Amino acid sequence: MTRAPKPPASKAAPRRRGASPEKTAATRRALSRAALDIFLERGFSATRMSDVATRAGLAKGTIYLHFTDKAALFEDVLREVMRDTLAGRPMQRPRRDETTRAFLQRVVVPVLRELQASGRFGVVRLVMAEGPHFPELAAVYRRVAIEPVLRWVRLIAARASARGELRSDALSRLPMLLVAPAVMAALWNGLYSATEPLDVASVFDTFLELLFVAPPPGRPRAARG
């Protein structure tokens, strides 16, 4: 036994020598951010690893200490951005006295606004564009992003149908119909934001106008007048 018995350090951790884990994590995060930006700007294949590194203020080789290859970087980055985007976003329920339309306006519209402001909608485009070449990524996207939303829509749709706010139960059967306008607006912006940007939240709101029956009169809360 060659190691002299060290007195127990103040911290519980074994106190490794060399760089700290925090620094490592920070580096990874910097790469992740840089990569996301450039992937969003140019797509997968037009993104050069060296540009990612440069934008992160690091050297090319450093990327490979944190991600096995370009595809892994891509998947990792998107997985994480999905997680971050969804994290801490409770799937809220309507209040008892609230119309479903009012509820959606209250809850969904701000989220859409925020997603658009932060550029996060680009992720949708990216997954759409590159998904076919990254089946695992597409599957993850579906599992962590799509399915939860669809489940939630189903609940809301069921309530709306029960309350007579929808004309049919179609939305319960195909919950993605509720999402379609927002998705489409996001994709539109991918192509035409320069000349004719769409406000995703407004598009969604307008869609609600088309969808929902005015609440039946005589109900105390949804009163029109």
The answer to whether 69 and 90 are in contact (CB under 8 A) is: no
Cα atoms found within 13 Å of the Cα of residue 149, Cβ hemisphere only: 20
Q: Is 69 a residue that touches DNA (CB under 7 A)?
A: yes
Q: Which does 162 bind (CB under 5 to 8 A by kind): a second copy, DNA, none?
A: none
Binding region for DNA (CB under 7 A) out of 35-43, 44-52, 138-146, 160-168: 44-52
Which residues touch 44 (CB under 8 Å, ≥6 apart)? 70, 74, 126, 129, 130, 133
Please give the Cα distance from 122 to 107 (Å, whole number).
21
For residue 199, give Cα distances in angstroms to 84, 112, 118, 142, 189.
23, 9, 13, 24, 9
Q: Is 10 a residue that touches a second copy (CB under 8 A)?
A: no
Q: Is 65 a residue that touches a second copy (CB under 8 A)?
A: no
- Token code pair at residue 71: 């595809």
Minimum CB distance to DNA smaller for 46 or for 170: 46
To 5 degrees, how large is the angle CA 50–CA 52–CA 56? 115
Q: Is 17 a residue that touches DNA (CB under 7 A)?
A: yes
User: According to CB under 7 A, which one of 7, 61, 88, 132 is a site residue for DNA?
Assistant: 61
Q: How far is the CB of 75 from DNA (least distance, A)?
A: 12
The answer to whether 202 and 152 are in contact (CB under 8 A) is: no
Sign of CA dihedral 114, 115, 120, 122: negative
Q: Is 106 a residue that touches a second copy (CB under 8 A)?
A: no
Q: Is 66 a residue that touches DNA (CB under 7 A)?
A: yes
Binding mask 16-55 for a second copy (x = CB under 8 A): --xx---x--x---------------xx-xx---------
Cα atoms found within 13 Å of the Cα of residue 94, Cβ hemisphere only: 19
Q: Is 111 a residue that touches a second copy (CB under 8 A)?
A: no
Q: How far is the CB of 101 from a second copy (least distance, A)?
A: 11
Binding region for DNA (CB under 7 A) out of 12-20, 75-83, 158-166, 195-203: 12-20
The answer to whether 145 and 86 are in contact (CB under 8 A) is: yes
> Can you give the binding site for a second copy, defined by CB under 8 A?
2, 18-19, 23, 26, 42-43, 45-46, 59, 125, 127-133, 135, 138, 141-142, 166-168, 170-171, 173-174, 176-177, 179-181, 183-185, 187-188, 190-192, 194, 203, 206-207, 209-214
